[in-house]
Amino acid sequence: MPTRLPPATLGIILATVAVFILQQMTGPAFTIWFALWPWGPMHTFTAGPQTFHASFHVWQLVTYGFLHGGIAHIFFNMFALFIFGGAIETAFGRNRYLFYYFACLVTAALTHLLVVYFFTGGFYPTIGASGGVFGILLAFGMLFPHQRVYLWFALPMPAWAFVAGYGVLELVFGVTGTASGIAHFAHLGGMLGGILLILFWRGKLPLKPKKRLLY
C-alpha cells in the first residue's frame, strides 16, 4: 500500500474534517439542512427557543457523508479511509476513485431510505461517511483479497475474510436490531454499490462498460 496519501483520498479527509468543524461551530440548522432525512412530509420540531423544519432533499444523498455525530464517529471513518483509501485510489485512478466513493455514498443513502420507508419507519437524521468507507473496504477486499489486515490491531486475516466478516455482522445487526442507532443497512448499501460498480467495470454484468478494466 502507498505510504503517502494520494490527492483524492487526502482531499476527502480534509473536506470531511473541515465540514465537521463547521458543523460544530454552527447551530443545529446546518446539520438539519444537510443530514439525510427519510422520504415523506416535512416535520417540524423545536430545539430550545428555535423551530426547525426537516425533510428530504436530493443533495442530502451526498452531504450527509460529510457530517458526523462526534469525534469518535469521524475519527474511525477517516482512519479507515486513511488506511484503505490510498491503495484503492492508486488502483482506480483519481477520477474513477472519486466517482466510486460518491456512488457508494449514494447507494448507501438510497438503501437506508428504502429500509426506513418499507420496514423500520421513524423520522430521524442519518449522518456519517460510513457508506463510502464501507464501499472502500469492499473494493480493498476484492482488489487485494490476500493482503493481511489486522482485526483490533492484533488478529491477522486476509482482506477478503475481514470484509466478508464485516458484511455479515452488519447484516445480522441490521436484521436483529442489535447496536441500534447505527445505520447498518447504509453500510451494506455502500458495499452493494461498490461490488456492482466493480463488477460493471470488469464486464461481469449484462450492461457492459465501453472499456473493460482489469482490477
Q: Is 177 left (phi over 0), alpha (psi -120 to 50) or beta?
A: left
Place of cell 502507498: 2
Q: Alpha-carbon distance 76 to 137, whole Å? A: 13
Distance from chain centroid for Cα 40: 23
C-alpha cell at 107: 447507494
φ/ψ (deg, to 5) at 213: -115, 135
Q: Hey, what domains does the chain have and what are their CATH numbers?
A: 7-201 (1.20.1540.10)
- The burial of 140, by beta-carbon neighbours within 10 Å (0-12 exposed, 13-18 middle, 19 or more buried), is given as buried
Q: Which residues pair with 150 in a beta bridge?
A: 156
Q: What is the end-to-end Cα distance of the chain in Å, rounded?
A: 15
| Contact between residue 184 and residue 173 where contact means Cβ atoms under 8 Å apart | yes
157/89: higher pLDDT: 89
pTM of the model: 0.91
CA geometry: angle 98, 158, 1, nearest 5 deg: 45
The pLDDT tens digits of the residues spanning 10-62 come to 999 999 999 999 999 997 889 999 999 998 888 887 766 777 788 899 999 99
Report which listed range, 3-12, 101-110, 164-173, 205-214, is most confident: 101-110
Three-state SS string over 6-63 comes to CHHHHHHHHHHHHHHHHHHHCCHHHHHHHCECCCCCCEEEEECCEEEEECCCCCHHHH
Compute the half-sphere exposure of residue 73: CA atoms within 13 Å on the CB side of its CA.
18
The predicted pLDDT at position 215 comes to 60
Q: Alpha-carbon distance 32 to 36, whole Å? A: 8
The predicted pLDDT at position 102 comes to 98
Of 73, 75, 78, 136, the C-alpha closest to 102 is 136
Of 98, 74, 96, 80, the C-alpha closest to 159 is 80
User: Chain-wide mean pLDDT for the chain?
Assistant: 88
Q: Alpha-carbon distance 113 to 109, whole Å? A: 6
The pLDDT tens digits of the residues spanning 99-124 come to 999 999 999 999 999 998 888 878 88
The predicted pLDDT at position 166 comes to 83
